[in-house]
Amino acid sequence: MSDTTENPTATEQPVDLDQLIDSCIASRETRYEDWDALGFQAAAGGDRFRRAQIRYLGSGATGNFDNDNRIIPSNHFTFSNMRLPAGAVGPEHTHHDVEEAFFVLEGELEVSVHDVEDGTKKATRRLGYRDLIVVPAGVPRSLANVGDSDALFCVIIGTKKPQLPTYPPSSEMFGVTR
């Protein structure tokens, strides 16, 4: 028997570990604040809906960024940062297919979960530095920056490419499309 028969990986090229590790890093210096990713919301509802997405792993549901070679391709989840100016909000929306987590790095957020049947009913909690909330799939959620300065937080979505979220009738973005 030849070496390739006994050991099928013998003909594969050795892994370049430097290249591998470099392909797994998304440094702060190579990120940028994309104020246009969710700009359609600000266009529809005004500056209080203005916020920036800073993509690291995958692109989430905010658009098609397949050609952005700075983003590490996602296999199982997405990870980005979001900058939310003081007084700004993330409108009530629902991810029907996946949970979403928010982890606060700077500032103070009020995060609300809304009743599926009656969006006027909600529970709200204030989150600060290093606080995290995970919102299950199918539960409407919204957030607001209640601090005096920008809030910066991580957004983790539990799938490679989530479905587009929807805006329930109680959302200020109801009827708005990308």
Mean of the pLDDT values across residues 77-99?
Answer: 96
What pLDDT does residue 11 have? 67
- Residue 9: inside a domain: yes
pTM here is 0.88
pLDDT value, residue 91: 97
Three-state SS at 155: strand
Would residue 126 count as lying in a domain? yes
pLDDT band at 10, cuts 50/70/90? Answer: low
109 part of a folded domain: yes
Whether the pLDDT of residue 99 is over 70: the answer is yes
Average pLDDT, the chain: 91
Using a pLDDT cut of 90, give the percent of the chain over it.
78
Question: What is the DSSP-derived secondary structure letter of residue 73?
Answer: P
Is 124 within a domain? Answer: yes
Q: How far apart are CA 171 and CA 12, in angstroms?
A: 54
Is 166 part of a structural domain of the chain? Answer: no
Separation CA 69–CA 71 (nearest Å): 5
Q: Residue 69's domain spans which residues? A: 3-157
Domain membership of residue 72 (yes or no) is yes
Number of independent structural domains in the chain: 1
What's residue 150's pLDDT? Answer: 98
* Higher pLDDT among residues 43 and 3, named by residue: 43
Q: Is residue 169 part of a domain?
A: no
Question: Which residue bears the tokens 């658009």?
Answer: 63
How would residue 2 be classed by pLDDT, with cut points 50, 70 and 90? very low
The whole-number average pLDDT for the span 20-46 is 94
Residue 134 domain flag: yes
The enclosing domain of 116 has a CATH number of 2.60.120.10
Residues 6+ apart with CB under 8 A from 153: 81, 82, 84, 102, 103, 104, 105, 106, 107, 109
